[in-house]
Amino acid sequence: MKRLIPAVTGACAIVLGQGMASADEVPDASSTEAPAMTGFGERLVLAWAGESGTQEHRVWYSTFNGTWTAAAEVPDALTTAAPALGVADNHLYLLVTPPGVNNKIYYYAANGTTFTADGLQLCDAGACAETRAKPALLGDGSTLYAAWSTANGSIGYGALSHGSWFVSTPSIPHALTNPSLGPTLALYQDKLYVAWVDPSEQVVSVATATLPLTSSSWSHEVVQLPIHTQVAPAMSVLNLVSSSNPAAEALFLSWTTVESTINFERWNPSDGQWSATNTPIPLPSGPLTSVSPALTSSTLEAADQQCFVTNSLAYTDRGTHHVFVKKTTRQNPKGCP
């Protein structure tokens, strides 16, 4: 049996070896919005807001396991912003922002890789999540985390666990963004990271929270990076290979520059600093996209117990509006744990 697992701390180790790089134009995937991407089961899943003459987009998805499946529509799902994908408790989830519901966020769950037709509001007993932008979604074991920008630019957050959502009444401390730009989430070394673009569009800020997540989990220290971007960043833990550390993982931040290229910063936990770095996934040169990229890493165990680790980046081409996925895959001869 094959399995594809979103990469978090403790995921399958990588060993030295030559990587295989490939770039794909996803068949029939066309959008003016940012793509969403995650690993689920034995597949990589991509979702996007279909092109439309209005602000009401239908939501489509495709899965990859050697080849891309035909694009399929999420039943009854409409969105005004890009969707978000996440995996928790062996379930695939999708977040959308439907028109005509006062910016409320709805979520859909997948039965296998087929989404149900019944979207539910992201609410708890006391509050509902509301946003004008693409929300962020991330799974860790049995818990699903979400974050979103609010009408006043603060960043709200919540978590789904044991079938129930918790929506925090206080927002993330010291977090402020343009209400039309959403945050991004990542999990690294047992901490939850959130990044957002400051209203000046000259700074990307990063905050952390210890787990389990509560209103007191957030650190009051916010790291600010001098990054000029007009769209939301992306963040993910990627698997790396080096001669000194064949089992390396690192946290990366990526963003679309004003010149429509994609740049990266890498977090160094030993000194608590972010630093500019070359792209960990080879990309075409020149302008690529005017919207946010999507970044993820996944592990595939084949039937013969061979282990493959893939880092993937998805982007919407600024000229054609086609969605591309660039992948770098390496084999671990020792197999997956």
pLDDT tens-digit series, residues 13-38:
333 334 554 458 999 999 999 999 99
DSSP-derived 3-state class of residue 241: coil
Cβ contacts of 213 within 8 Å, gap of 6 or more: 143, 145, 157, 159, 192
R_g of the chain, CA atoms, integer Å: 18
- The whole-number pLDDT of residue 201 equals 96
| Rounded Cα distance, 151 and 172, in Å | 14
- The whole-number pLDDT of residue 305 equals 73
- The whole-number pLDDT of residue 309 equals 81
| pTM, to two decimals | 0.91
DSSP-derived 3-state class of residue 73: strand
The pLDDT tens digits along the chain (337 residues) read: 344 545 443 333 333 334 554 458 999 999 999 999 999 977 899 999 999 877 789 999 999 988 999 999 999 999 999 999 999 999 999 999 999 889 999 999 997 888 988 899 999 999 999 999 999 999 998 999 999 999 999 999 999 998 999 999 899 999 999 999 999 999 999 999 999 999 999 999 999 999 998 889 999 899 999 999 999 999 999 988 544 454 678 999 999 999 999 999 999 998 889 999 999 999 999 999 999 999 999 887 777 777 788 899 999 999 999 999 999 987 766 666 5
| Rounded Cα distance, 150 and 130, in Å | 6
H or E element in which residue 117 lies: none
| Rounded Cα distance, 32 and 181, in Å | 15
| H helical segments located in 76-169 | none
- The whole-number pLDDT of residue 111 equals 79
For 142-181, how does the pLDDT look when each residue is reduced to its tens digit (9 = 90+)? 999 999 999 999 999 999 998 999 999 899 999 999 999 9
| Rounded Cα distance, 116 and 109, in Å | 6
User: Domain 3-332 is of which CATH architecture?
Assistant: 6 Propeller (2.120)
